[in-house]
Structure 1
């Protein structure tokens, strides 16, 4: 296939869109549906991110910026006014994840050594009380079943006490929740890269962004490397969580401090990748 000359941004976009297209096709999303979402994202970005400290851009200015008609801008703006899935998914943490976080960091649900305590299902300082405090009106049995299903918690068959086996909730085999995580993780990564691209011009320090990559690794060591990378990454995330988690205002005892200003969403993402090196492939 003849290569089409393109600028660096186009090359970067194609690399982003190529695996995205694979995911969309696998989930039966046709191009027209994807294009509709792209229009919406363009309109929201024009209206929200390019005001320059002034009033929001008019539909006419947003049309000039995006290349869409004023009619299309107005239609997408009206859709956004009634439904904003981006803002909703980035501000409401998964309920099961909040339960695990409370179990790890709330002293009321810790053992004397500071580890997550073994909890009875009901009663004072129980799993049901933990769920009520950190997951609202969701039935405690439903939360427990989910945590047991993914291996985060287990129930002792003799005592009935519930043990936290992992310090983080990651859904398994649940496409809806995994797709939500996909949206959040990719959005966060692109936002960090975008910030770093303009940070020097704005006189700001770049956000931490590093990648370890080798492209000539023998396949026979890959099993050991996957296990080692997973163990080290999990250990680092647990260490960072131990530092940052207790500062969360949602953890009991932290909401009544002398905090000022709006809360900040922050974190660190680690992801593993591997890909067979193909001769002649565009890089």
Structure 2
């Protein structure tokens, strides 16, 4: 088997991409040894799942050749069946769905994108209550449990009329590392998957665009940050409303369902060595 030629630009790109991830690991106590063990599992799992010939599982020897992982380790890791691809957690999916219903579905919103304050109890607000909202999405989860957790995470707040007010236009916890890590896992994975597809696959690329400047003042950056927060959120709300309408109008066969992720991000850092550049827009 002939291995593909390594593009000379790939390793420098990977080195640059890994820097913020290594920064996170060092801040949270993940050592090189621990991450190397994890990376070995991922190499073996991806090779086993995505590099098959004629849809047959590859042998230990072929995985070892593809990955550079010793055959003894390949055999051990496959026997453990670790590193399986994981989707969003149930809490993540439930929370995102619940906020989407609140934002887009009657009687919980004034109009799509304008969520109403909800009476906490169904005994007061009837169907148009937080109890009613949770019951519409799941009969197995108590509304009080969801409310307590969402208050802790800063997703909702209570007013003096015992009504529940949505504090965010998406299920994005402001507190709680585990909850934020679920979004980190989901969003970064899907962004990276789109970028890797565009680098390696033929056919139509996924949409992936960015605008970047390197000679802005801190005042200009603050103004852009506010514009992205306000206007970018409106763009995402519009996509959310369209997705909700399409999901309700064009329900697919259960075996043909697809998921999507649409993202928007903003980042800034000091750039003391920048050379003034009028404007740069790039795409992958």
TM more than 0.5: yes
CA displacement at 1:30 relative to structure 2: 0.7
* 1:73 is the counterpart of 2:74: yes
CA displacement at 1:157 relative to structure 2: 1.1
CA displacement at 1:148 relative to structure 2: 3.5
For residues 76 and 139 of structure 2, what CA distance do their matches in structure 1 show?
Answer: 36
Alignment partner, residue 3 of structure 1:
none
* 1:48 is the counterpart of 2:69: no
* 1:155 is the counterpart of 2:158: yes
Distance 1:91 1:198, change over 3 A: farther
* 1:32 is the counterpart of 2:26: no
Higher normalized strand content (fraction of residues): 2
SS of aligned partner of 2:35: helix
Alignment partner, residue 182 of structure 1:
184
Question: Would you say the 8 A contact 2:153–2:173 is kept in 1?
Answer: yes
Aligned residue pairs total 264
Question: Would you say the 8 A contact 2:99–2:171 is kept in 1?
Answer: yes
For residues 241 and 117 of structure 1, what CA distance do their matches in structure 2 show?
Answer: 17
Question: Would you say the 8 A contact 1:98–1:135 is kept in 2?
Answer: no
TM-score by length of 1: 0.82
1:205-238 deviation per Cα after TM superposition (whole angstroms, max 9, x unaligned): 1110101100011223222221112111111111
1:20-71 deviation per Cα after TM superposition (whole angstroms, max 9, x unaligned): 1111010001111100111111011101111144212122211111111222
Question: Would you say the 8 A contact 1:156–1:162 is kept in 2?
Answer: yes
* 1:22 is the counterpart of 2:16: no
CA displacement at 1:254 relative to structure 2: 6.5
Alignment partner, residue 282 of structure 2:
none
Alignment partner, residue 247 of structure 1:
246
Alignment partner, residue 211 of structure 2:
212
CA displacement at 1:14 relative to structure 2: 0.8
5+ long unaligned stretches in structure 2: 1-6, 276-284
* Structure-to-structure mapping, 1:1-283, within 5 angstroms: 7-80=8-81, 84=84, 86-89=85-88, 93-111=92-110, 113-114=111-112, 115-123=114-122, 124-125=126-127, 126-135=129-138, 137-158=140-161, 160-199=162-201, 202=202, 204-248=203-247, 257=251, 259=253, 261-279=255-273
Distance 1:258 1:51, change over 3 A: closer
SS of aligned partner of 2:210: coil
Distance 1:193 1:90, change over 3 A: farther
Distance 1:171 1:127, change over 3 A: same
Question: Would you say the 8 A contact 1:100–1:168 is kept in 2?
Answer: yes
Question: Would you say the 8 A contact 1:96–1:135 is kept in 2?
Answer: no
For residues 135 and 75 of structure 1, what CA distance do their matches in structure 2 show?
Answer: 40
> RCO greater where, 1 or 2, for CA within 8 Å and sep 6 or more?
2
Distance 1:91 1:55, change over 3 A: farther
For residues 39 and 260 of structure 2, what CA distance do their matches in structure 1 show?
Answer: 26
SS of aligned partner of 1:89: coil
For residues 69 and 137 of structure 1, what CA distance do their matches in structure 2 show?
Answer: 47
Question: Would you say the 8 A contact 1:152–1:167 is kept in 2?
Answer: no
